[in-house]
A and B are shown apart, each in its own frame.
Chain A
Amino acid sequence: MSFIQLSNVNKTYNLKGASVTALQTTNLKIAQGEFVALMGPSGSGKSTLLTIMGTLNPPSSGTLLIDEINIYQLNQERRADFRYMYTGFVFQQMHLLNYLTAIENVMVPLAVSKYSRAEQYKMAEAVLDQVGLLKKKNRVPSELSGGEQQRVAIARAIVNKPPIIFADEPTGSLDTKTGAEILDLFKALNQSGQTIIMVTHNPETLAYVSRTIVIRDGVIESDASQSNGDLHSQDVLVQGV
């Protein structure tokens, strides 16, 4: 059984009376520990696929199983609990709370945990150290560079030690050098056991990931994994193409 499994998942948006299918009926399996890149042109449906897998966006049809839990059968509150335990999300725009310091931003997911304030603080310091920003823990986002803000966002995503990290174009707003540093971070997280699923336009990501899924017009066009330096095609079950 795969760690993440999509079965016959489809997403259609209704916009001003017209239906737009962002994701055609899709089947996909992702094993624990994979570093997956979702690539494709703008509007291809890759962000839709990511957010569905990230439990943020209920599909129009189909099921999502993560760790054998049928995610979209849970109500909104239970899904939120699931997100807290299983996922971390990194956004292209970072979406840090600009009125909280770096360490306070990292502690936000822990606001509903059982940990005491002291324990939360220690955990936040540990992950900030991991992303190399411990010295800037008391800075607010406006006092940090883009790369530093993204590091804080990554720290926030991993503070509760989730097994899966979803990242939506995390290097999209960054320069090449900074982007590479962020990708190094993700690689390190993957090597310590976390499953990472990343939407990206950045071809340099290919050097970091273990699997690349290309989506075009809501359909998975190709799905190749990389082992021992070679690319192997995955069995791609696509229906309704």
Chain B
Amino acid sequence: MRLELIAIKSIIRRKKRVFFLLFTIIMSVAIVTTLYKLNDSMYLEIGDTFDKLGPNIIVTSAANDMDLAYGGVTLPSARNDGTRLIADDIMKIFSIEEAESIAAISPKLLDIGQVDDDSTAVLLGVHFQFEKLIKPWWSWQGQLPFANDEILLGSTIAKQLSKNIGDQLIIENETFSITGILDVTGTDEDHVIFMPLLTLQDLKGHGENISFIEVAALCSSCPLPDIMEQIRDVLPHSNVVALQEAIEVRTNTVERIQEFMVYGSIIIIIISSLVIGMSMMNYVYDRKVEIGVLRAVGLRRSHVFEVLMTEALLFGVIGGLVGYSLGTIFAKYITPFVVSIPLTIEFDLIVGTITILATIVITLLASLLPIYRVSKLDPVEALRI
């Protein structure tokens, strides 16, 4: 008989007693693990969701002459010059190392055109299928242009020109059909005439040139400056800037959510630790008579301490291991139904090891005082003779 064996047999053979204590530890660890996994994954998912809501990087050509402003960005005019951006440059952006972080790209050509013979309007040439991706909040009446002679009007300019869906508009002496009108966005887009990129390039004689490229990059897995640097490497003739407003909104919102979840997790960890502590205390104090017997038959306080701390260690190991596994399974398979956000949750060796070690430490610390106090009793007090 060895002291460790007393501890092991105590756990194996006192199933009912041990079950409730282990259950408490396991559930506490599982809850904390689930919250941590949720927090971690939601931070990434919410971040990515934010990143997909519109561009956060603007790529312009590195030209000296800046003629136009759009969406808060000053743009060079797209003259036929070798240093300008061309539509095929988007393929270079897709070739960067962090290409997987690129959620959407939309090349654009901005110019001014004569409209209906007596006024001018801002013309924006886009690939409408890319534009839909990068601006998922867009809504419109009618439908998006498909043919080369079809256009989409911003809400304000449609009113200014007194045009409706189905009407025709003459731009630079060419006739276009209005297939749709954008709903109010509250931005420069309300004042813009949207047309296919190739059409505007031909209409204004820009060849392959474009004015800028909007990029929606996912920042959670790769910091924005890194992505911007990589774009600069493949497009050395370009200016790559971050849309500060987009960054700030993302940062404030996502980090606030994460802060909230971290505080929540800390509170849960504290409560769980207290629950484990109380459970261990009860477990030890219930063993008072048994401890008295061990002392009466000749075991020292240190021997009794060793037996009980061995049990606490085993509880910590089993509770941590099973609790972490259960928490991960719960986070992976159950919570997606609850929060309706697609989450990526996996078993993580490092996090699992830390969880088990933390559980062991908490269980041992929680046991320390009650074990010390009970083992200090004279045997006759413990045995209540």
Contact = CB atoms under 8 A, between A and B. Distances in A.
B301 A111 contact: no
Given A57-B378, A108-B297, A111-B1, A95 B302 contact: no
**A-side binding surface: helix, strand, loop or mixed?**
helix
Nearest to B293: A95
Contacts, number: 96
Given A99-B13, A104-B9, A156-B297, A117 B2 contact: yes
Interface residues of B, number: 30
Nearest to B287: A97
B315 to A, nearest CB: 15
Contacts of B385: 47, 51, 56-57, 91, 168
Contacts of A100: 6, 9, 13
Interface in A79-99: 80-81, 83-85, 87-89, 91, 95, 97-99
Contacts of B3: 111-112
B116 interface: no
Interface in A165-190: 168
A109 interface: yes
B268 interface: no
A57 B1 CA distance: 27
Contacts of B380: 51, 56-57
B108 interface: no
Q: Which 5 A-B pairs have the closest CB atoms?
A: A84-B298, A107-B1, A99-B13, A57-B380, A56-B379
A29 to B, nearest CB: 22
Interface in B338-385: 376, 378-380, 383, 385
Given A95-B289, A99-B14, A100-B6, A108 B1 contact: yes
A47 B2 CA distance: 31
B84 interface: no
B201 to A, nearest CB: 85
A66 to B, nearest CB: 14
Given A104-B9, A108-B1, A117-B2, A97 B293 contact: yes
Contact of B299 (A87, A99, A111, A120): A111
Contact of A111 (B6, B12, B14, B290): B6
B379 to A, nearest CB: 4
Contacts of B12: 99
Contact of B303 (A57, A85, A111): A111
A168 B297 CA distance: 14
A80 B295 contact: yes
A58 B10 CA distance: 30
Contacts of B300: 76-77, 80-81, 112
A76 B298 contact: no
A220 to B, nearest CB: 19
A77 B297 contact: no
B203 interface: no
A112 B3 CA distance: 7
Contacts of B2: 111, 117
